[in-house]
A and B are shown apart, each in its own frame.
Chain A
Amino acid sequence: MTPLLTSDAQAALSRRDFVKRTGALIVAFSAARVATELGLAPESVSAQGINGVGSPQLDSWIAIGADGRVTAYTGKCELGTGLYTAQLQLVAEELSVPLDRVTLVQCDTSRTPDQGTTSGAQSHPTNFNHANLALACATAREALVELASKKLGVPTDQLTAADGAVSHRSNGSQRVGYGELIGGNRFNLQLDKNARRKPASEWKILGTSVPRVDFPAIVTGRFEYVHNVRVPGMLHGRVVRPPALGSTLVKVDDGSVQGMPGLVRVVVRKNFVGVVADKAWQAEQAARRLKVEWTAGRQVPDQRTYYQHLRSQSTTRQALTVDSGDVDKMLAGAAKVLRSTYYHPFQMHASVGTACAVADVQATRATIYSATQAVWPLRNTMATMLGLKPEDVRIAFRMGSGCYGVNGADTVSYDAALLSQAVGRPVRVWLSRQDEMAWENYGPAFVIEQRVGLDASGTIVAWDYEGWSISLGGRPGYNAPGNVVTGYLAGFQPQGVMPRAPAPPPMNFDNGSNTAPSYITGTVGNRSGGCGVVQSERALSHTIESPFFTGPLRSPARLQNTFAHECFMDEIAASLKADPVEYRVRHLRDPRLREVVTAAAQKAGWDRRPSPRNGNSTRRNGVASGRGMACVLYEGDNGYCALVADVDVNLSTGLVTVKRCVAAMDCGPISNPDGVQNQMEGGIIHGISRALREEVTWSGERVTSIDWKTYRPWFLGDQVPVIETVLINRPDAEAMGAGETTITVTAAAIGNAIFDATGVRVRQLPFTAERVKAVIDGRS
């Protein structure tokens, strides 16, 4: 069997057969109605479009054919993290059917329920579809047992569902297959929130390391990525982006490309410019030759002093995550106060493949094949862009290159659609490397200042956090196409920052961005949502408008904040000559966070002593070795993780080499242990790349990191550490995220290890050899 997962033909055939027999599709419902019917709080299904409105109808999720094959429909998509396979496991498990009898149709507005956005895949529990797809499967399994009871004349409590059939518990000859019970017919049932979900103790398929079902097709070049979608009559487009930030279009000289082979049309819409040709190479040639006049760009403040610029802004949007009201008083009365400032650069998604989409826009309807994380939201903004009704727009997901957040997938979908609309034929667009890197939605820069007060025994009695970050645009969501570059060029405004000061008091403790450190109580009202013991606490954030588009990048804000918290915690421990692990545990009250910290330290053979390592005995040939720890409860409630990193630092060059990483994680019940390990390892390597190398650069009015020489991530020839993982499985706990945990702590653990090795604290990322060397030499 070749699992060509995204094969339109296969899925469409199955769905068409089903629809023919059972009537219309049921995919769209109001959020409020779904919430009411499932007994959920409305915000739980509609928050920021992350979860979408779903569907209360069982037939929207599950169809069973006469042959017993199951087709499941999901609004959560595969982004390269293994979510497709994990969802197959979920369906097979809850429905008691063999894995190879399940087909999963993912993220297509014409077929699958609206589940909003697949963000932080494998990092958010909703993506595992525990709330709805699993509930649908459990509802279906119970319905099938009911049907079998009638058919066999046996009470339901004497029946059991397994292997795609219902049978008598003690008389196996009384058995009826799912296909015979329901095959081709609708269930006509609502999701039953009381349907019995299988506890992890009964799992046979979930909880096992099922290999990725898409890998055989991928490694043999048979897999259909969005880049491989081929539509009859398809033309090829290429965009012409402005030469500088803030440039607007003055004029396009169509004559400059007249007569070029294969050229179909030059397309202009406000500041959006592109060309369409018969072939990709012809479009590329024409885009290069097209003469376009633009206004001068807008200067971005000097990169060398950018953090000071960011820190000095007075017109900001403020937010308080927590404020006990007594922080200034406690700091004034503390035996000792420590203070530090940390700096995190702009970084980019820098997907290995540039973004691509295929659009077929006709006068009254449109189909767009897109690698977006958000098919339903994109349907709405696409309709706005094209002047169509949302119901006349179909967005069909096809996997792209790994995205790690809002890369170019949405913007290129607009590019392809605008060009297709202009020529009335299907158009494929892939971006040039430069166009992708110069205009993507970067992960934002941060400046983070912290102070703590210590009592005479060295215990932290007050923690004060103040952070400055920046924002422009982001996910387009359901109504903001201007949040990415194409929408902006076509005339839509990005969501900027509305200044607001002072910050309103927090209504509840929401640590979704990990703004608050793990060591505070996180007390708002009567509830303490933090992991720690420090009662005097304040976390104040400032956001200003960015000169570049920004957006979610793997572990958005959580990585930046955790870098600052966990390095600062290490500084505090060092100032007291305390062991960094013991000192952490002393300020933590959440037993699960304490456990991952202890487990990682134990596995790593952590040597109890203060940092830095004393003496020169470990310094061979001018190389110093050290180890560092960092931990986090990701998003404040979505995955416990601790990491120990061992590094070598070359004292004469400043070059940092990560030798070994030991990560411990607790994400509740584990759906696929090897899949989780793969995510943990990938997060560490991605984290090393970001910590040691990555930084968006600019000069004047232009971004200058525009290819793999000027923005150099970790290549396969670069030295990688030995990675060891500890998985703490909690079968009875709620599922938590796993995909963005290790990357959140990697930079901090490395920074702490550099300190342990050298005795110098580097407070700015990335830890390039030049920067580390300068700090060692006392030059910064």
Chain B
Amino acid sequence: MSVINLRVNGQARTVDVDPATPLLYVLTDDLALNGPKFGCGLGQCGACTVIVKGEAVRSCSTPVQAVAGAEIITLEGLGSPENLHPLQQAFIDGQALQCGFCISGVIMTAKTLLDRTPNATDTQIRQAMSNVLCRCGAHVRMLAAIKKYQQQRQDRRTA
């Protein structure tokens, strides 16, 4: 066990864990966050995705020691029901999910892409989402919600 300092959703947090523990387990069990989910533990599906230093990271296969001191954002840190992030709002507006278990992968991956590449083409968006799994088949609505958010960002910039 070792003491590790983290910065999660803007707050300083300290945990005392085996440094090889996957970040997901620390977020879920030590910090009681519900956003990132265990989907496969293999980094294949995206359900555990968080943003670390602007990158979409699969927290199920990232040792917690690798992100000590880095800014970590989970779905909770993006917005709250009272103060939704525009991307979260786009998913509600489009009713773009079903069971919602995959949503960290969808939203966090799309956000990091559009933060870095605001004018991403449809092909680039699909490329970025190629290893994100939604099993309920909400694909069409999800892609539409991402496009809507992208359009809003672009409109704000040109306004």
**Residue positions of A touching B, CB distance < 8 A:** 1-3, 79-82, 211-212, 214-225, 227-228, 230, 236, 261, 279-282, 350-354, 356, 399-402, 404, 430, 432-433, 674-675, 678-679, 681-687, 689, 707-709, 713-720, 723
Give the distance to chain B from A556, nearest Cβ to Cβ, in Å.
17
- Complex interface: chain B residues within 8 A of A80 (CB): 98-101, 136
Are A354 and B39 in touch, CB under 8 angstroms?
A: yes
Q: Does B127 contact A (CB under 8 A)?
A: yes
Interface stretch, picked from B51-59, B102-110, B147-155, is: B102-110
Q: Does B12 contact A (CB under 8 A)?
A: no
- Listed by A's residue number, 19 A-B pairs whose Cβ atoms lie within 8 Å are A216-B84, A220-B84, A221-B36, A222-B76, A279-B21, A280-B25, A352-B45, A352-B102, A353-B38, A400-B101, A679-B98, A686-B137, A707-B42, A708-B45, A708-B133, A713-B135, A714-B139, A717-B126, A717-B127
- Complex interface: chain A residues within 8 A of B66 (CB): none
A683 and B79 CA atoms in complex are apart in Å by 30
**Residue positions of B touching A, CB distance < 8 A:** 1, 17-18, 20-22, 25, 28-29, 32-42, 44-45, 47, 74-76, 78-82, 84, 88, 91-92, 95, 97-104, 106-107, 126-143
Question: Which listed residue, B18, B37, B44, B101, touches A282 by the CB 8 Å rule?
Answer: B18
Question: Which listed residue, A218, A354, A687, A713, touches B38 by the CB 8 Å rule?
Answer: A354
Give the distance to chain B from A120, nearest Cβ to Cβ, in Å.
14
A379 and B137 CA atoms in complex are apart in Å by 31
The 8 closest A-B pairs by CB, nearest first: A80-B99, A221-B35, A717-B130, A685-B137, A221-B75, A402-B99, A682-B137, A218-B100
A79 and B18 CA atoms in complex are apart in Å by 35
Are A709 and B44 in touch, CB under 8 angstroms?
A: yes
- Complex interface: chain A residues within 8 A of B134 (CB): 352, 716
Give the distance to chain A from B144, nearest Cβ to Cβ, in Å.
10
Give the distance to chain A from B95, nearest Cβ to Cβ, in Å.
6
A214 and B1 CA atoms in complex are apart in Å by 38
Are A433 and B42 in touch, CB under 8 angstroms?
A: yes
- Complex interface: chain B residues within 8 A of A718 (CB): 126, 130, 139
A719 and B97 CA atoms in complex are apart in Å by 18
Give the distance to chain B from A710, nearest Cβ to Cβ, in Å.
10
Are B98 and A81 in touch, CB under 8 angstroms?
A: yes
Are B47 and A353 in touch, CB under 8 angstroms?
A: yes
Known contacts A219-B100, A716-B133; 18 additional CB pairs below 8 A are A80-B100, A214-B100, A218-B97, A220-B84, A221-B74, A221-B76, A225-B101, A280-B25, A281-B18, A281-B20, A282-B18, A352-B39, A352-B47, A352-B134, A401-B101, A433-B44, A708-B133, A709-B44
Closest to A221 in B: B35
- Complex interface: chain A residues within 8 A of B142 (CB): 716
> In the complex where A215-B95, A402-B99, A678-B141 touch, is A433 in contact with B135 (Cβ < 8 A)?
no
Are A222 and B81 in touch, CB under 8 angstroms?
A: yes
A560 and B37 CA atoms in complex are apart in Å by 32
Are B129 and A716 in touch, CB under 8 angstroms?
A: yes
Give the distance to chain A from B79, nearest Cβ to Cβ, in Å.
6
> In the complex where A220-B75, A220-B81 touch, is A215 in contact with B91 (Cβ < 8 A)?
yes
A770 and B22 CA atoms in complex are apart in Å by 38
Are B140 and A399 in touch, CB under 8 angstroms?
A: no
> In the complex where A681-B140, A708-B133 touch, is A215 in contact with B40 (Cβ < 8 A)?
no
Closest to A354 in B: B38
Are B97 and A708 in touch, CB under 8 angstroms?
A: no
Are B101 and A352 in touch, CB under 8 angstroms?
A: yes
Are B44 and A681 in touch, CB under 8 angstroms?
A: no
Are B82 and A224 in touch, CB under 8 angstroms?
A: no
A224 and B37 CA atoms in complex are apart in Å by 11
- Complex interface: chain B residues within 8 A of A282 (CB): 18
Are A678 and B129 in touch, CB under 8 angstroms?
A: no
Among A356, A400, A674, A714: residue with most chain B CB under 10 A: A714
Are B139 and A716 in touch, CB under 8 angstroms?
A: yes
A80 and B81 CA atoms in complex are apart in Å by 19
A599 and B33 CA atoms in complex are apart in Å by 47
> In the complex where A215-B100, A219-B84 touch, is A715 in contact with B29 (Cβ < 8 A)?
no
Are A279 and B17 in touch, CB under 8 angstroms?
A: yes
- Complex interface: chain A residues within 8 A of B41 (CB): 432-433
Are A674 and B92 in touch, CB under 8 angstroms?
A: no
Among A212, A400, A719: residue with most chain B CB under 10 A: A212
Closest to A684 in B: B137
A225 and B141 CA atoms in complex are apart in Å by 22
Give the distance to chain B from A217, nearest Cβ to Cβ, in Å.
6
Are A219 and B97 in touch, CB under 8 angstroms?
A: yes
Are B92 and A216 in touch, CB under 8 angstroms?
A: yes
Give the distance to chain A from B22, nearest Cβ to Cβ, in Å.
7
Are A220 and B76 in touch, CB under 8 angstroms?
A: yes
Closest to A433 in B: B40
- Complex interface: chain B residues within 8 A of A261 (CB): 1, 18
> In the complex where A219-B75, A219-B100, A433-B40 touch, is A723 in contact with B131 (Cβ < 8 A)?
no
Question: Which listed residue, A214, A227, A354, A682, touches B136 by the CB 8 Å rule?
Answer: A682
Are A720 and B143 in touch, CB under 8 angstroms?
A: yes
Question: Which listed residue, A211, A281, A678, A689, touches B25 by the CB 8 Å rule?
Answer: A281
Are A720 and B99 in touch, CB under 8 angstroms?
A: no
Closest to A403 in B: B99
- Complex interface: chain B residues within 8 A of A708 (CB): 40, 42, 44-45, 133
- Complex interface: chain B residues within 8 A of A356 (CB): 38
- Complex interface: chain A residues within 8 A of B82 (CB): 2
Are B88 and A219 in touch, CB under 8 angstroms?
A: yes
A350 and B107 CA atoms in complex are apart in Å by 21
Are B76 and A352 in touch, CB under 8 angstroms?
A: no
Are A353 and B37 in touch, CB under 8 angstroms?
A: yes
Are A685 and B44 in touch, CB under 8 angstroms?
A: no
Give the distance to chain A from B104, nearest Cβ to Cβ, in Å.
7
- Complex interface: chain A residues within 8 A of B140 (CB): 681, 685, 720, 723
